[in-house]
Amino acid sequence: MKTSFVNPILVVEDSLEDFTALGRAFRKHALPNQLLRCEDGDQALEYLQGYGQHPDWPSHLPAFILLDLNMPGTDGRTVLDVLKHDPRLLSIPVIVFTTSANHRDVEECYRLGANSYLTKPIEYTVLEEKVELIIQYWLQASQLPLSI
Amino acid sequence: MDQPTVSHTSELLSDMPTTLTNCDREPIHIPGAVQPYGFLLCLDERTQRVVQASENTQALLGIPANELVGAGLEQLLPPTHLAELHALWPTLTEAPRLLGVQLHHTPNQPFYKLIVHRYDGLLWAEFEPVASNDPSVVDLGTLNTVLSQMLSATTVLDFCQHAVEQVRSITGFDRVAMYRFAADESGEVVAEAKRPDLDPWLGLHYPATDIPQQARAMYLKNWLRFIPDASYRPAALVPVRNPTTGRPPDMTYAVLRSVSPIHLEYLHNMGSAATMTISVIREGKLWGMITCHHLTPLLVSYELRELCLFIGKTFSALLPTKEQQDLHVYQLHIQKTQTRLFDQMNSSANFVAGLYQHPTTLLDVFACSGAAICFEGELLTLGTTPTPDQIQDVVAWLHQHATEDVFYTDSYARLNPAGVAIRATASGILAITLAQETNDYILWFRPEQLQTVTWAGRTQKVETKADGQIFLSPRQSFEAWKQTVENTAAAWQPLEIEAAQEIRLHIADIRLKIFNELQARATSLSRLNAELERSNDELDSFAYVASHDLKEPLRGIHNYSIFLLEDYADRLDAEGVSKLQTLVRLSQRMEALIESLLQISRVGRLDLTLVPTNMNELVTGVLELLAPRLEQTHTTVVVADALPTVLADPIRLGEVFNNLITNAMRYSNDSEKYITIGMASDTLPNFPAPEQFDVFFVRDQGIGIDPKHHENIFKIFKRLHAQDKYGGGTGAGLAIAKKMIEKHGGKLWVESVLGKGATFYFSLPKAL
């Protein structure tokens, strides 16, 4: 069942190539949701905590967030921590999407309140599979909070 | 100077027979009599008239003593001598002055030596007959020889030997001996010059009581005593008592003084018919005596006696220097030995070994007969010592009773009655504590003094008189002395105690140094550990960041190659497509390598979670995981033995099995593959201690591994085959598996011949 929900999907990702590959995989599904990119943690927090105040940025919060962990400057863990402590933002599902399969990272992210943890595959076909799963699960199978 | 003062004892005593028991109180300075070989006149200081005269004037001059009393010297001496004397009297002191005189008024006009001094309110005129063998002059050449000999002596004992030989050659006495007094005033003969046919006295000891206190006091004042004929009958003074004082005059400085009958008996028992003794005085104390004995009466002229007195005084004057020399030599020896010991200790891995394992040992530092090192429960002995058990007893006693760092005694038995048992080897003990609160000691032992006495007469029998009374004799003296020194060793000298203390300090320093080094090592270890931990963390984050940062562009290369293939396939020829596919494949391989690198960098620092692990279940689980691939590759796995339960980290161990089984499955050219898992029997070569380890194996019938590669295959990224053969792993699997097993405290190894399959073994410590 298709949701009419059209909040953007936020990708916090410093690597343009990774974002390009992700965007390509998402485009296959012709979603109504805009795929937004923040290049680093600071930018992501600026948008999320000040949404609606910036004319160039969407006035809506994202439906969910794909969050890379290792970024220059404010890294993903900090972003996650801040989001999950912000009463206005903590209900947005955060899907950690990172290279690291280190169990310590996995543990920490769930402890900080991540809703899911996926590793970036090297093979594009696998990436496509994962993106399809994400869309099916978060946008079709799941009920997202309405408050967003 | 604490000279014993001579008290003028009860007058009654002079009228009582003196015995061995009261001779200490015998007033020997006022005997009221002289030896009769010469005669004595005591004159009034003012009138210079005779107050008292010895009764033998009758015999020697033909004038009864009472006739001389009240008169001057005119009836004996010619005017020239009288004038000399007249000039002499006013300046006279107790120091004797000598005149040669001829008694003109006496028949035969004999020559006499006249020795005069002033003492006890009297002028003393003592007349000695002139000996027939007198040298006309005292020869300066002799004096020079005497002096240079004395000066050249290098040790105290040599010095004593020279002195007695000189005195004997000057006087002709049958025996001249040097007596030296110990701290307890007992005496020892330390040098001797004698007629060859006489028994030696060298090494003879005698008790302090052999020379009564008042005699010692007198010997400090009057340096030379002479008895030309010990069988003399004393010639009494007439009158015996000085009318002014009402007592006999004080004969301390008189040459003719009559001696104690006890002393005469002593001489007689020694077989001595004539004797002369010269005091050796060191810093106001009686150090010893040069004693001369002759078997027959011997009149030594006054001049020669003066020469001997000169030798005695010179000896006394030089003595401190010689003792200093001895001490210095000993000190140098101690220092040298100590230094050597210290070097040995510093250069030995175990410093205690430096005390006994080299030519120079604890025994050599100073005079002792034995030593023991009691250290950290070990007991080592050197030289002559009590038995180990007896030493342990001493140590236990010290632990209780000796609280100082350095303990010494010259009579352990006096402090601890049980010490009598070890008196032969350890009457004297010098001990240093190496550590408070423990029984770590170094001990030096000295035997009972009696064991070391070398007097030839020590084994003779004690003589007694017919009526059972003790017979005074050297043997008797020795017996008496023996009783005073039972259970006693030679005393420890201050410099020896000091040396022991220095050794103690040095050992303490070494131990402190060792402790400090250990501390420093511990500190640097913990620093290194901290650094290691930091560098581990850095490595961790490096590996992590590197893998992350490397993978990102890799993904880019991979993805963009895919996009090219997808988006531009129509514009690419076959070669272009194949090149892009190669790029995709290479990026995948690169990612696998990075992943392996990350894994292996973590393995070494993994914290294992060890739990009792049932290996049957574990292997079953691994086989279930691998089932699809096993099926695909037609591989049959047989678990041959029941596997034990071990203490292991099941996840890591699962990875090891997974790796070994996967390898066994891959490296085979057969269409049907067989793998056996089981327990190795302990007959296997290389099998570690079977009581401590379980050894597992994974065996295949595959391509095998040439023994020359058996080590290489465990190296990271080491591959024996091309990437496109046998499933192309990264070459990290075995390296990781080996590390995992080593983390568990085991070993992983391979037995294989090329073409004959391979068996991988790994050992794990048994779960106890």
> What single DSSP character describes residue A123?
S
B540 burial type by CB count under 10 A (0-12 exposed, 13-18 middle, 19+ buried): middle
In chain A, which among 9-48 make CB contacts under 8 A with chain B? 15, 17-18, 20-21, 24
Instruction: For chain B, say whether A129 makes contact (Cβ under 8 Å).
Output: no
Furthest CA-CA distance within chain A: 40
Determine the residue of chain A that is closest to B565 in CA distance.
A124
Mutation test of the interface with chain B: which of A13, A17, A28, A118, choosing the one with the most B Cβ atoms within 10 A? A17
**pLDDT tens track for B712-727:** 888 776 777 766 677 6
Helix H segments across B569-635? 574-603, 615-632
The alpha-carbon gap from B438 to the nearest alpha carbon of chain A, in Å, equals: 52
* B563: nearest CB among A18, A24, A123: A24
Instruction: For chain B, say whether A122 makes contact (Cβ under 8 Å).
Output: yes
d(CA B90, CA B45): 9
d(CA A102, CA B377): 54
Taking the alpha carbons at both ends of chain A, their separation in whole angstroms is 20
Q: Please state the rounded mean pLDDT for residues B424-446.
A: 88
**pLDDT tens track for A18-32:** 999 999 999 999 888
Asked whether the beta carbons of B619 and B581 are under 8 A apart, the reply is no
Residue pointed to by tokens 């009758």 = B58
Residue B18 has pLDDT above 70, yes or no: no
* A124: nearest CB among B545, B553, B559: B559
Q: Do A100 and B554 touch (CB under 8 A)?
A: no
pLDDT for the residue B22: 54
- Angstrom distances, CA of residue B647 to CA of B613, B677, B693, B750, B766: 6, 19, 11, 23, 7
Residues 6 or more apart from B753 whose CB is under 8 A from it? B704, B706, B707
Report chain A residues whose CB lies below 8 A from the CB of B544. Answer: 100, 102
Phi, psi of B645 (to 5 degrees): -95, 130
Residues in chain B, how many?
768
Report chain A residues whose CB lies below 8 A from the CB of B567. Answer: none
Report chain B residues whose CB lies below 8 A from the CB of A124. Answer: 558-559, 562-563
**Structure token pair of residue B1:** 């100077």
pLDDT for the residue B767: 67
Residue B72 has pLDDT above 80, yes or no: yes
Report chain B residues whose CB lies below 8 A from the CB of A127. Answer: 559
Query: Which residues are paired to B257 by β-bridges?
Result: B34
Q: Please state the rounded mean pLDDT for residues A65-71.
A: 90
Phi, psi of B713 (to 5 degrees): -60, -20
d(CA B544, CA B538): 9
In chain B, which among 519-558 make CB contacts under 8 A with chain A? 544-545, 547-549, 551-556, 558
- Angstrom distances, CA of residue A118 to CA of A115, B98, B597: 10, 130, 21
pLDDT for the residue B9: 36
The alpha-carbon gap from B562 to the nearest alpha carbon of chain A, in Å, equals: 7
* Global confidence as pTM: 0.59
Residue B162 has pLDDT above 50, yes or no: yes
Q: Where does chain A show beta strands of DSSP type E?
A: 9-12, 35-38, 64-67, 94-98, 116-119
Residue B641 has pLDDT above 80, yes or no: yes
pLDDT for the residue B605: 67
Asked whether the beta carbons of B260 and B18 are under 8 A apart, the reply is yes
**Structure token pair of residue B768:** 């106890």
Residue B469 has pLDDT above 70, yes or no: no
- Torsion sign over Cα B613, B619, B624, B626: positive
Q: Do A17 and B559 touch (CB under 8 A)?
A: yes
Q: Chains A and B: how many Cβ contacts under 8 Å?
A: 46
Report chain A residues whose CB lies below 8 A from the CB of B606. Answer: none
Determine the residue of chain A that is closest to B589 in CA distance.
A122
d(CA B317, CA B727): 107
Q: Do B548 and A100 touch (CB under 8 A)?
A: yes
**pLDDT tens track for B249-276:** 999 999 999 998 888 888 888 889 999 9
pLDDT for the residue B138: 65
pLDDT for the residue B199: 87
Closest CA to B317 of B141, B519, B151, B522: B151
d(CA B99, CA B90): 16
Instruction: For chain A, say whether B243 makes contact (Cβ under 8 Å).
Output: no
**Structure token pair of residue B757:** 């399959």
Rounded to 5, what percent of chain A is helix, strand, coil?
Answer: 40, 15, 45
Percent of chain B with pLDDT over 90: 42
Mean of the per-residue pLDDT values of chain B = 86
Half-sphere exposure of residue A8, counting CA atoms within 13 Å on the CB side? Answer: 17
> What single DSSP character describes residue B453?
-
**pLDDT tens track for B211-232:** 888 889 889 999 999 999 999 9
Report chain B residues whose CB lies below 8 A from the CB of A70. Answer: 545, 548-549
Instruction: For chain B, say whether A102 makes contact (Cβ under 8 Å).
Output: yes
Q: Please state the rounded mean pLDDT for residues B739-748.
A: 90
pLDDT for the residue A35: 92
Mutation test of the interface with chain A: which of B552, B597, B603, B651, choosing the one with the most A Cβ atoms within 10 A? B552
Rounded to 5, what percent of chain B is helix, strand, coil?
Answer: 45, 20, 35
Residue B660 has pLDDT above 90, yes or no: yes
B747 burial type by CB count under 10 A (0-12 exposed, 13-18 middle, 19+ buried): middle
Report chain A residues whose CB lies below 8 A from the CB of B552. Answer: 15, 17-18, 99
The alpha-carbon gap from B618 to the nearest alpha carbon of chain A, in Å, equals: 22
Determine the residue of chain B that is closest to A19 in CA distance.
B556
